[in-house]
C-alpha cells in the first residue's frame, strides 16, 4: 500500500536536500514528493508518497524525519480522512476527425483542454492519483506524446465534519 | 576593535557594538565558555584566525585537520563538553569529514567551524570552494551556512545547544569569508527558538511501571548498558538500580566504564569479541533492559538469535533508535539518568533470581578472557594486562581501531566512567593518537594511555608534533604485530590465509621516529622485559613511546563470526 506522509518544514534553503539526503542515506524509496508554501510564510509542506512500505520502515522514516532540526511536524495521512490531489498534463494525438470522441471521453474526468494543435491536444486533469492513472490508461491507445504529473499533495479534512460523519455512521448502524 | 580581544567580560559591552563576523565568532565562543579549540588555518579562515590571534582562547595547531577533529572528539568524550574545531574551506573542510562521521556514529558533541569562499562567488568553483554543507549533511546532527553576519551569533548558540543536548552529535557551521569581515551585532542571548528540536528527557511513567512489573515476573533479567549512560552522567543511578534489583550487567564497547568493571554483577563487554558470559546471558535472558545502547550489529550478531526469548526494554533519548534494529516491547524515550531515577523511585519487592545468577556468574568464573602466554614472545594481551596493573585501572585509555582495540576492551578493566575513548561505530583507523591528545588536553592530570596499532599510528602520527609542543605526558603504546591485524585475522579465518595487502613489509624504526620528535622511546621484544619497560614508560614524567613487538599471528578470541548468533561463539576456553 502506498503511504502518504505530510511533513511541515522550515522554509529554508537546503531543507529539501536534507530530506532527500535522509532518504538516500537510509535506503528509503520515494514514489513522489511535492513541496510548496503553506499558510505560514516561514513554513513549507512536503507531501511524500512511499510505495509498498511496511509498518516498521514507515515508523523509521517518520522518526528519522522528526530528527531533522528543520522538520516541524510529520503526519502519516494514509489512514486519515484526507483530500489528496494530483495534477497531470498530457499531450495526446488527436486528429481533427476524431477529436470530438476524445473530448467526450475525457469529460467524466472533468479534464480540460488547454492547448490545441492540428494533430494534438493538451489535456489537464486534477484528481486523486487513481483517477489520474485511469485517465492515462484511457488515453494511452491514442498515443501520448508527452506527460507530466505533479505528484500528490494532500490535506486532512475538517475534523468536525469527519467526526460528524463517523457519528452518523454509528447511529445509522442497525443494532441486530 | 582590538579592545574586545582580551577582556573576558567584553560580551556585555560587545553586544551593543558593531563587530566583524570574526569578532562575533570569538565573542560567541567565549559566551559558550570555550577555552580550547583545535584547528588549522587557511585562506578562507584568515579573518577568523586574525580575530583568534591573542584572543585568550587557546588554539591548538594540529598537523592535519583530521587530527584536529579527532582531538576534539577525545576532548569531548572525557569532558562531556563540546569539542571545537576550525578548518578552512575546500580541503580543510573535507579533511574533517571522517571525524564528523565518527562523531555522528558515536554521538559526540562537536562544533566544527569551516571557512567558505565569499557568498558572491559561491557556486563558481572558486579557489578552495567545496559544498561542505552538501557533503556533511548526512554525517552531522545539523549544519549551517551563515549567509549574513547578523545570523552568526545565534547560529553559534544554536549549534552548541544542538551539539550538546539530546543525543549529542556534531554540528558544522560554514562561514563565508565576506561574512567574517562584515560588520554586525551579537544577538541578545535570549531563549532560542527551535520548534523542530525538542528532545524528550522525561520518561513516561506508565512505561517505567511496566518495567518494574516485568522485572517482578522475570526469571532471567539482564541489564545492557551503552554510552547513553555516560552521556547522561547516570553511572551512579545505574549502579544503584543494578544493585537494588540484583541484576547482572553487560556493556557495549562504548559503554565500558559506565558500570564498574570489577563489580561482581558485571559480566563484561558483549558482542563480537565480548565475553562468553555476557553473550550467553544476552542469548538466554527473558527480560532485557537496554539503557543507552543502539543495538549495533557488532553487539547483536545475527539479530534472529539476539535475546530470542526476551521481553525487550529499550531506554534511549533518540526515539529513532527504538525498534530500528531490534523489536522492542517496552520503549522509553528519555534521558538515561531521569529514566533510572524514575525507576528507583518506584519501590518494588526485589526478587531473588538465584538460579539465573548462579548460571551467569558461573559462566563468568569459568570462561574469562584468555590467552596463552609464551616464554619469550610478547603476547599483545599481556601488554594490556600489564598496563592495567601498572595504572591501577585508573588511566584514560584511548585506542585506535583493530585487534589492539579489542584486547584493550577485554583486558583493561574500566572502573570509572569517561576513561575509555575509542572509535566504535565508524571504526576509524588513525583515531587513536589525536584522540589521546584531545583527552589529555581535557584531563591534564590523568594518565593517558594511547594504545595504538602500528598501522593506525602511521595514519595520523604527524600529530606527535602537538604532543611535543604542548608537552603532553601521553604514554603511547604501539602494539606492533607488523600487520593490519584485524584484516589479517579475517583473511586467516575466512579467506584461506590469503593475506592480501595486510602485512606491512617495511616499518619505520619507531624509536628513531620518536627521537626525531624529541620523544623518549623504548622498543621491547622479549616477554621477560615487558613489565620493566612498561613500568619505566608509565613512570616517565613526560610523553613516551613504546614499540611493543608482539606475536604477529595472534588472533582476538572469543569471537562471533559474521552472520552468526550470540550463542555461536568460537574460541571459548574454560579456565
Q: Which residue has the cell 567551524?
A: B113
Structure confidence at residue A29 (pLDDT): 85
Question: Same CATH fold, B380-549 and B2-184?
Answer: yes
| B128 among known catalytic residues | yes
* Mutation site for A-interface testing, chosen from B197, B294, B326, B328 by largest number of A Cβ within 10 Å: B197
- Per-residue pLDDT band at A162 (split at 50, 70, 90): confident
Structure confidence at residue B42 (pLDDT): 98
Please name the member of B134, B138, B142 whose beta carbon is closest to the beta carbon of A69: B142
Q: Is the pLDDT of residue B192 over 70?
A: yes
Q: Would you call B116 an interface residue with chain A, using a CB distance cutoff of 8 Å?
A: no
Please state the CATH superfamily assignment of the domain spanning residues A82-154 in this structure. ACT-like. Chain A, domain 2 (3.30.70.1150)
Please name the member of B142, B196, B323 whose beta carbon is closest to the beta carbon of A56: B323
Q: Where are the domains of chain A?
A: 3-76, 82-154
SS3 of A173, please? coil
The DSSP secondary-structure symbol of A39 reads: S
Q: What whole-number distance in Å separates Cα of residue B327 and Cα of residue B341?
A: 25
pLDDT digits (tens, 9 = 90+) for B490-537: 999 999 999 999 999 999 999 999 999 999 999 999 999 999 999 999
Q: Is the pLDDT of residue A103 over 50?
A: yes
- Per-residue pLDDT band at A173 (split at 50, 70, 90): low
Q: Which of B90, B85, B83 is nearest to B42 (CA)?
A: B90
Structure confidence at residue A155 (pLDDT): 94
- Grid coordinates belonging to B342: 524514575
Strands B142-145 and B110-116: unpaired
pLDDT digits (tens, 9 = 90+) for B200-212: 999 999 999 999 9
Q: Is the pLDDT of residue B419 over 60?
A: yes
End-to-end CA, chain B: 70
Which of chain A's residues have a Cβ under 8 Å away from the Cβ of B157?
none
| CATH architecture of the domain with residue range B380-549 | 3-Layer(aba) Sandwich (3.40)
| B463 among known catalytic residues | no
- Grid coordinates belonging to B110: 562537536
Question: For B197, which residue in chain A has the nearest alpha carbon?
Answer: A69
- In three state form, how does the secondary structure of B426-484 look? CCCCCCHHHHHHHHHHHCCCCCEEEEEEHHHHHHHHHHHHHHHHCCCCCEEEEEECCEC
Question: What is the 3-state composition of chain B as percent helix, strand, coil, each rounded to the nearest 5?
Answer: 40, 15, 40
Structure confidence at residue B1 (pLDDT): 38
- Per-residue pLDDT band at B8 (split at 50, 70, 90): very low
Average pLDDT over residues A124-152: 95
Q: Is the pLDDT of residue A41 over 90?
A: yes
Q: Do A69 and B196 touch (CB under 8 A)?
A: yes
Phi and psi angles of residue B223, each rounded to the nearest 5 degrees, phi first: -105, 130
- Per-residue pLDDT band at A2 (split at 50, 70, 90): confident
The whole-angstrom distance between B74's CA and the closest CA on chain A is 25
Could you tell me which CATH class the domain B205-366 is placed in? alpha beta
Q: What whole-number distance in Å separates Cα of residue B128 and Cα of residue A21?
A: 24
| B3 among known catalytic residues | no
Other beta carbons less than 10 A from residue A171's beta carbon? 7
Angle among Cα B290, B304, A56 to the nearest 5 degrees reads 70
Average pLDDT over residues B289-307: 97
Q: Where are the domains of chain B?
A: 2-184, 205-366, 380-549
Please state the CATH superfamily assignment of the domain spanning residues B2-184 in this structure. Thiamin diphosphate (ThDP)-binding fold, Pyr/PP domains (3.40.50.970)
Q: Is the pLDDT of residue B11 over 60?
A: no
- Per-residue pLDDT band at B16 (split at 50, 70, 90): low
Structure confidence at residue B4 (pLDDT): 42
Q: Which of B513, B541, B465 is nearest to B63 (CA)?
A: B465
- Residue by residue, DSSP assigns A109-125 as GT-EEEEE-SSEEEEEE
Q: Is the pLDDT of residue B273 over 60?
A: yes
Which of chain B's residues have a Cβ under 8 Å away from the Cβ of A22?
138
Q: Is the pLDDT of residue B227 over 50?
A: yes
Question: What is the 3-state composition of chain A as percent helix, strand, coil, each rounded to the nearest 5?
Answer: 40, 35, 25
Question: Same CATH fold, A82-154 and A3-76?
Answer: yes
Q: Is the pLDDT of residue B10 over 60?
A: no
Average pLDDT over residues A116-145: 95
Please name the member of A13, A22, A71 whose beta carbon is closest to the beta carbon of B196: A71
pLDDT digits (tens, 9 = 90+) for B63-106: 999 999 999 999 999 999 999 999 999 999 999 999 999 999 99
| B145 among known catalytic residues | no
Tally C-beta pairs within 8 A across A and B.
Answer: 37
Mean pLDDT for all residues in chain A: 91
Instruction: Please pick, among B18, B128, B207, B492, the residue that the annotation labels catalytic.
Output: B128
Q: What whole-number distance in Å separates Cα of residue B116 and Cα of residue B175?
A: 5
The whole-angstrom distance between B196's CA and the closest CA on chain A is 4
- Per-residue pLDDT band at A174 (split at 50, 70, 90): low
Q: Is the pLDDT of residue A166 over 80?
A: no
The whole-angstrom distance between A35's CA and the closest CA on chain B is 18
Instruction: Please pick, among B4, B104, B177, B414, the residue that the annotation labels catalytic.
Output: B177
Q: According to DSSP H, which parts of B53-184 are helical? A: 65-79, 91-94, 97-105, 132-136, 152-164, 177-181
Return the CA Rg of chain A. Answer: 20
SS3 of B113, please? strand
Please name the member of A9, A63, A72 whose beta carbon is closest to the beta carbon of B319: A63
Q: Is the pLDDT of residue A37 over 70?
A: yes
Q: Which residue has the cell 513516561?
A: B204
Return the CA Rg of chain B. Answer: 24
Give the CATH number of domain A3-76: 3.30.70.260
Q: Is the pLDDT of residue B159 over 80?
A: yes
| B65 among known catalytic residues | yes
Q: Is the pLDDT of residue B9 over 60?
A: no
Mean pLDDT for all residues in chain B: 96
CA B423 from chain center: how many Å?
Answer: 5
Q: Do B196 and A70 touch (CB under 8 A)?
A: yes
Structure confidence at residue B133 (pLDDT): 97
Q: Are B220 and B284 in contact (CB under 8 A)?
A: yes
Average pLDDT over residues B396-402: 98
Amino acid at each position: 500500500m502506498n503511504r502518504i506522509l505530510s511533513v511541515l518544514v522550515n522554509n529554508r534553503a537546503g531543507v529539501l536536500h536534507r530530506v532527500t539526503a535522509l532518504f538516500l542515506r537510509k535506503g528509503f524509496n520515494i514514489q513522489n514528493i511535492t513541496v510548496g508554501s503553506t499558510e505560514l510564510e516561514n513554513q513549507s509542506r512536503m507531501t511524500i508518497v512511499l510505495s509498498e512500505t511496511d509498518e516498521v520502515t514507515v515508523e523509521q522514516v517518520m522518526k528519522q524525519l522528526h530528527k531533522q532540526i528543520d522538520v516541524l511536524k510529520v503526519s502519516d495521512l494514509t489512514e486519515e480522512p484526507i483530500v489528496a490531489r494530483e495534477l497531470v498534463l498530457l499531450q495526446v494525438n488527436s486528429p481533427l476527425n476524431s477529436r470530438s470522441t476524445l473530448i467526450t471521453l475525457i469529460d467524466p474526468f472533468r479534464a480540460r483542454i488547454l492547448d490545441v494543435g492540428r494533430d494534438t491536444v493538451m489535456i489537464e486533469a486534477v484528481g486523486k492519483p487513481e483517477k489520474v492513472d485511469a485517465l492515462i490508461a484511457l488515453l494511452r491507445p491514442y498515443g501520448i506524446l508527452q506527460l507530466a504529473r505533479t505528484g500528490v499533495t494532500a490535506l486532512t479534512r475538517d475534523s468536525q465534519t469527519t467526526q460528524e460523519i463517523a457519528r452518523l455512521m454509528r447511529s445509522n448502524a442497525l443494532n441486530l | 576593535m582590538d579592545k574586545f580581544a582580551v577582556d573576558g567580560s567584553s560580551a556585555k559591552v560587545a553586544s551593543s557594538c558593531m563587530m566583524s563576523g570574526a569578532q562575533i565568532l570569538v565573542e560567541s565562543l567565549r559566551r559558550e565558555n570555550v577555552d580550547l579549540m583545535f584547528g588549522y588555518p587557511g585562506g578562507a579562515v584568515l579573518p577568523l584566525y586574525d580575530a583568534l590571534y591573542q584572543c585568550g582562547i587557546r588554539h591548538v595547531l594540529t598537523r592535519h585537520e583530521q587530527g584536529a577533529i579527532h582531538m576534539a572528539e577525545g576532548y569531548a568524550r572525557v569532558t562531556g563538553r563540546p569539542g571545537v574545531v576550525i578548518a578552512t574551506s575546500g580541503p580543510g573542510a573535507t579533511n574533517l569529514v571522517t571525524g564528523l562521521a565518527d562523531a555522528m556514529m558515536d554521538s559526540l558533541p562537536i562544533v566544527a567551524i569551516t571557512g567558505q569562499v565569499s557568498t558572491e562567488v559561491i557556486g563558481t568553483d572558486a579557489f578552495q570552494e567545496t559544498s561542505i554543507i552538501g557533503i556533511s549533511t548526512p554525517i552531522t546532527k545539523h549544519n549551517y551556512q551563515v549567509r549574513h553576519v547578523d545570523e552568526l551569533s545565534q547560529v553559534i548558540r544554536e549549534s552548541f545547544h544542538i551539539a550538546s543536548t539530546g543525543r549529542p552529535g556534531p554540528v558544522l557551521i560554514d562561514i563565508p569569508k565576506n561574512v567574517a569581515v562584515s560588520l554586525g551585532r551579537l544577538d541578545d542571548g535570549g531563549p532560542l527558538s527551535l520548534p523542530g528540536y525538542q528532545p524528550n528527557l522525561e520518561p513516561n511513567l506508565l512505561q517505567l511501571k511496566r518495567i518494574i512489573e516485568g522485572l517482578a515476573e522475570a526469571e532471567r533479567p539482564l541489564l545492557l548498558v551503552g554510552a547513553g549512560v555516560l552521556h547522561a552522567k547516570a553511572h551512579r543511578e545505574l549502579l544503584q538500580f543494578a544493585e537494588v534489583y540484583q541484576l547482572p550487567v553487560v556493556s557495549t564497547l562504548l559503554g565500558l566504564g559506565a558500570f564498574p568493571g570489577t563489580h561482581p554483577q558485571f559480566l563484561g563487554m558483549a558482542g563480537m569479541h565480548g565475553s562468553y558470559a555476557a553473550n550467553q546471558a544476552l542469548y538466554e535472558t527473558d527480560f532485557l533492559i537496554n539503557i543507552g545502547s543502539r543495538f549495533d550489529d557488532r553487539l547483536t550478531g545475527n539479530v534472529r538469535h539476539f535475546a530470542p526469548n526476551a521481553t525487550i526494554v529499550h531506554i534511549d533519548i533518540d526515539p529513532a533508535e527504538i525498534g530500528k534494529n531490534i523489536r522492542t516491547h517496552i520503549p522509553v524515550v528519555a534521558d538515561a539518568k531521569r529514566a533510572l531515577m524514575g525507576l528507583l523511585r518506584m519501590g518494588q519487592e526485589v526478587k531473588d533470581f538465584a538460579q539465573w545468577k548462579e548460571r551467569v556468574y558461573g559462566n563468568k568464573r569459568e570462561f574469562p578472557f584468555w590467552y596463552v602466554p609464551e616464554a619469550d614472545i610478547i603476547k599483545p594481551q599481556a601488554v594490556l594486562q600489564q598496563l592495567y596493573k601498572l595504572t591501577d585501572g585508573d588511566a584514560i585509555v584511548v585506542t585506535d581501531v583493530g585487534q589492539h582495540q579489542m584486547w584493550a576492551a577485554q583486558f583493561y578493566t574500566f572502573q570509572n566512567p569517561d576513561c575509555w575513548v575509542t572509535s566504535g561505530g565508524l571504526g576509524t583507523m588513525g583515531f587513536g593518537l589525536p584522540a589521546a591528545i584531545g583527552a589529555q588536553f581535557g584531563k591534564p592530570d590523568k594518565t593517558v594511555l594511547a594504545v595504538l596499532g602500528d598501522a593506525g599510528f602511521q595514519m595520523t602520527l604527524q600529530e606527535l608534533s602537538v604532543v611535543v609542543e604542548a608537552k603532553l605526558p601521553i604514554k603511547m603504546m604501539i602494539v606492533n604485530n607488523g600487520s593490519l591485524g584485524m584484516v589479517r585475522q579475517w583473511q586467516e579465518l575466512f579467506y584461506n590465509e590469503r593475506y592480501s595487502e595486510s602485512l606491512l613489509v617495511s616499518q619505520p624504526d619507531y624509536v628513531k621516529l620518536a627521537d626525531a620528535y624529541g620523544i623518549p622511546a623504548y622498543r621491547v621484544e622479549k616477554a621477560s622485559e615487558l613489565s620493566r619497560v612498561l613500568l619505566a614508560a608509565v613512570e616517565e614524567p613526560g610523553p613516551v613511546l613504546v614499540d611493543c613487538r608482539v606475536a604477529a599471528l595472534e588472533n582476538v578470541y572469543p569471537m562471533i563470526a559474521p552472520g552468526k548468533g550470540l550463542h555461536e561463539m568460537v574460541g571459548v576456553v574454560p579456565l
